[in-house]
Amino acid sequence: MKLYPEMFFSPWHLIVVVLALIAFIGLIKGGYDRKTVLRSTGLSTLVFYFILTIPIGLITQESLYKEETMLTDLDQNFEDKKADSQLQSLKDYVVLHVGAYKNEDDADIVVYAGNYHESQTFNGHITLFVYDKNDEEVFTEMYRDITLAPGEKKKLDTSFTSQPMDTYRYRYETHPQM
């Protein structure tokens, strides 16, 4: 399990502050002495923090792991394309990567796109074709009006499928810039 800073300090952790404040005010209103109020508030803050961090950590770790692996694979796809000397037009600098993350009965399909051109923006449609092991089409998806600034990488879609998928292909349709 890889640890990310977002697992330990997120906007959701503000709940701990609110709960600690409620505990602090409740102890003061209860008439407890200063030492008991500070000790109990500190302990309750730690307990609240750990109770909240466990589910946040599990949820955040999975999504950040997917994002990290998708961006790494997207970069690798571009490097492979560059090594094959396939970079001739703007469309060649736009790379798509589809990743499947298996769950119990189905798979999460995550789609990322990146524009690796240094100065030109990509505007257009990207069509994705997903195939199974028998080279039969599982599904097709068109992403319309995609804009990718130079160097930009972004998540296009997340979907689910129970059908097995093996490979994918994609095609572009660019729009002239105005």
pLDDT tens profile 75-107: 998 998 888 776 777 777 888 888 877 777 777
Q: Please state, in angstroms and rounded to a whole number, the distance separating the CA atoms of residues 73 and 95.
A: 10
pLDDT band for position 178 (cuts 50, 70, 90): very low
Would you state the pLDDT for residue 96?
87
More confident residue, 117 or 163: 117
Q: Please state, in angstroms and rounded to a whole number, the distance separating the CA atoms of residues 175 and 178.
A: 9
Query: 122-126, 137-141, 144-148: which has the minimum mean pLDDT?
Result: 137-141
Would you state the pLDDT for residue 17?
94
Domain boundaries, the chain: 5-62, 87-174
The CATH code of domain 87-174 reads 2.60.40.2360
Would you state the pLDDT for residue 176?
47
pLDDT tens digits along 16-73: 999 999 999 999 999 999 999 999 999 999 999 999 998 888 888 778 888 888 899 9
Residue type at position 176 = P
Q: Please state, in angstroms and rounded to a whole number, the distance separating the CA atoms of residues 80 and 95.
A: 11
- Calculate ∠ Cα 165-142-102, nearest 5°: 25
Question: How many CA atoms are closer than 13 Å to the CA of 8, on its beta-carbon side?
Answer: 5
Residue 126, strand partner residues: 143, 172
Asked if the model's pLDDT at residue 136 lies above 60, the reply is: yes
φ and ψ at 24, to 5 degrees? -60, -50
- How much of the chain is in helix, strand and coil states, percent to nearest 5? 45, 30, 25
